[in-house]
Chains A and B, each alone.
Chain A
Amino acid sequence: MSATAKPLNRRQIAWRAAQDIVDGSYVNLGIGLPTLVADFIPADREIVFHSENGILGLGKAPAPGEADPDLINAGKGAASLLPGGSFFHHTDAFLMIRGGHVDLSLMGAFEVSAEGDLANWTTNDPHFAPGVGGAMDLAAGAREVRILLEHTTKEGEPRLRRRCSYPLTAPRCVKRIYTNLAVLDVTAQGLSVHEMIEGMTLGDLQALTEPPLTLANGCRPLQAPAL
């Protein structure tokens, strides 16, 4: 990686993922990095955000002092409701997910495999209790699953693996991956690089990725505004 190559920050990863969401979609945002995506939807698109705790039409975080303690998102943070939004019970929230009514699920991950296997619920750390929440429902049920994650661990180990080393959330469910270095698609031929940050070569990216990468036709620079 050349000295000029500048990885995206977390907000820029979220911005990039937001640009691919088509107008009129019903979208579930996972906790953490995906939650930021709601801030970067292009102004000419109307997206309905679904929250597993029984909300459609989730709006932006309320201004300080305007939070309603009964209106929270999946991350348990204060939320708001847009005009046209609705409330329903938890079972219906998961009926929407599992029944294929939610068009897109954006989630974080520990690891993704070359075949699109997803691992995001436990690292088998005996000192850290696992939690699965709605992740398996979303991975198995949403019409499309896209993942946002840092390309490597804090120690520099690849998070994109030949096979996930952690227990799976669901096999073969991920279609697209957004990282701080690239946008990749899961294809029948393995991971295909759709976009890469400027100053990075396929060889540079491959050194940080376990499974073999191929360059997509028309691979472009991965760019995001300063955020």
Chain B
Amino acid sequence: MIDKRVASLAAAVTDVKDGAIILCAGFGAVGMADELLEALLEQGAKDLIAVANNAGSGDRGLAALIAAGRVRKVICSYPRTDKPYAFEAAYKAGRIELELVPQGTLSERMRCAAAGLGGFYSPVGVGTQLAEGKEVREIDGRTYVLEKPLKGDIAFCKAQKSDRWGNLVYRKAARNFNPTMAMAADLTVVQVKEFVELGALDPEMIVTPGIFVDRVVQVAGAK
């Protein structure tokens, strides 16, 4: 019997290790698994490397982890977002390292890790500071840089609905990085608004098949 539902947020994040690479889905504050990331704050893991499009907003989720000094480095496309004060304070104080990656490259590097590929050649960033030190190659007359896969130890995702197999559907633009990050980590933990019966999700409409998901926890009251 497959049942990926867990009873509590604490149980969902119980085994995150110090130094883990955590994939934090979301775009700005939308689609972020704030409650799971706050459970991680309680759990206590530190020296984390956070991969996220933005480096946390306000006092919730990733911003709370950064404010508490748990994040050693962020890998993101655009650290500043709405109310980025936790990241800005850490950055100004030299307490956090930043690796900037163009947004599509960030997403595709994780997709490569999910797909078992050794990387890809991209025209994005060629001739810029962000491509310095990377292998450059000309293919059919266009110049590309080699981008390597980016894999997480654990992914924190948020979805609208799940069944016990961990099949997921999302809501509107809260989908964003969630399906890619859900595929790209050794362990994928998802908070959902609602559990449904197996078979209730239309097999044509499932966005993330349960094969990618390890644990789902219900947070009915999440925004």
A and B associate in one complex? yes
Write the residues of chain A forming the contact surface with B, with a CB cutoff of 8 angstroms. Answer: 23-24, 26, 46, 48, 50, 56-57, 81, 83-88, 94-96, 98-102, 141
Contacts of A84 in B (CB 8 A): 163-165, 167, 198-199, 210
Q: Which residue of A lies closest to B199 (CB)?
A: A83
Cβ-defined contact, A95 with B211, below 8 A: no
Query: Nearest-CB distance from B167 to chain A (Å)?
Result: 6
Q: Are B2 and A46 in contact (CB under 8 A)?
A: yes
The CA of A46 and the CA of B201, in the complex, are separated in Å by 19
Among A23, A48, A83, A100, the residue within 8 A (CB) of B210 is: A48
Decide if B203 touches A86 in the complex (CB within 8 Å).
Answer: yes
Across the two chains, which residue of chain A brings its CB closest to B206?
A86
- The dominant DSSP class at the B interface is loop
Residues of A within 8 A of B23 (CB): none
Residue of B whose beta carbon sits closest to that of A100 = B116
Contacts of A100 in B (CB 8 A): 116
Residues of B within 8 A of A87 (CB): 203-204, 206
Q: Are B209 and A95 touching (Cβ within 8 A)? A: no
Query: How far is it, in angstroms, between the C-alpha of A84 and the C-alpha of B163 when the chains are bound?
Result: 8
What's the tally of chain B residues with a CB closer than 8 Å to chain A? 23
CA gap between A213 and B101 in the complex, in Å: 53
A203 to chain B, nearest CB (A): 43
B residues neighboring A (CB under 8 Å): 1-2, 111, 113-117, 163-165, 167, 183, 198-199, 201, 203-204, 206, 209-212
Contacts of B116 in A (CB 8 A): 95, 98-100, 141
Beta-carbon contact of A48 and B2 below 8 Å: yes
Closest to A102 in B: B211
- The answer, among A26, A48, A86, A99, for a CB contact under 8 Å with B114, is A99
Tell me the minimal C-beta distance from A56 to chain B in angstroms: 5
Most B-side CB within 10 Å, residue of A24, A26, A81, A95: A95
C-alpha spacing A102/B117, complex, angstroms: 15
Task: Give 4 new A-B contacts, CB below 8 A, not counting A57-B165, A86-B210, A95-B114.
Answer: A23-B1, A84-B165, A87-B204, A101-B212
Q: Smallest Cβ distance from B164 to chain A, in angstroms?
A: 8
By a CB distance below 8 angstroms, the chain B residues around A50 are: 211
Q: Min CB distance, A217 to chain B, in Å?
A: 32
A95 near B1: Cβ-Cβ < 8 Å: no
Q: Which of B198, B203, B211 contacts A26 (CB 8 A)?
A: B211
- Closest-CB distance, A62 to chain B (whole angstroms): 15
Given contacts A81-B203, A86-B203, contact A98 B115 (CB under 8 A): yes
Q: Hey, which chain A residues are within 8 Å of B1, CB to CB?
A: 23-24, 46
Contact between B211 and A101, CB atoms less than 8 A apart: yes
Pick the residue among A23, A56, A83 that contacts B211 (CB under 8 A): A56
A24 contacts B204, CB within 8 Å? no
A117 to B171 CA separation, bound complex (whole angstroms): 46
List 8 contacting pairs A-B, 8 Å CB cutoff, sorted by A. Answer: A46-B1, A81-B203, A84-B164, A85-B203, A86-B209, A87-B203, A95-B115, A95-B116
Are A86 and B2 touching (Cβ within 8 A)? Answer: no
**Contact between A56 and B199 (Cβ–Cβ < 8 Å)?**
no
Q: Which residues of A contact B113 (CB under 8 A)?
A: 99
For the complex, give the distance between the alpha carbons of A57 and B206 in Å. 13
Cα distance A84–B166 when bound, in Å?
Answer: 9
Q: Is the CB of B204 within 8 A of A48?
A: no
What separation, in Å, do the CA atoms of A84 and B165 have in the docked complex?
7
- Given the complex, which residues of B lie within 8 Å of A88, measured CB to CB? 206, 209
Cβ B198 vs Cβ A98 within 8 A: no
CB distance from B207 to the nearest CB of A (A): 9
